[in-house]
Amino acid sequence: MVKIHGAFYLTVGIVVLFYTHYVENKIGSGRLRFFVLVGYLFLVIGIAKILIWFINRKKETKGELGYIGNKPQNVKNHLGYCPRCRTPLRGNENFCYFCGQRLR
């Protein structure tokens, strides 16, 4: 999954809304309602993405603290297992965080 930061959506939403507002003032009609809708849609997605990112970041920090001394039962998005103790790993560790087995 390609991660697009919420700030990108937020920026696109703001640009679309400002541009639509500018064009609407020039031609003076309500024909650009669709673009206003798209602009707000991007704004909402952007805010939602930033919120989700913020919540996930908090969860991750808590989760890593919880790993000390107890074996995690279900690690999301793990890429493999430790060859010695079968702990799910995320693939970016040099050593297994449970048993200390060297991984690369």
The residues that touch Zn ion, with contacts defined as CB under 5 A, are 82, 84-85, 87, 96, 98-99, 101
CB of 52 to Zn ion, least distance (A): 31
End-to-end CA distance of the chain: 25
Q: Give whichever of 36 and 103 is closer to Zn ion, judged by the CB atom.
A: 103
Rg of the chain, C-alpha, whole Å:
22
CB of 64 to Zn ion, least distance (A): 16
Cα 37 to Cα 89: distance, rounded to the nearest angstrom: 43
CB of 65 to Zn ion, least distance (A): 19
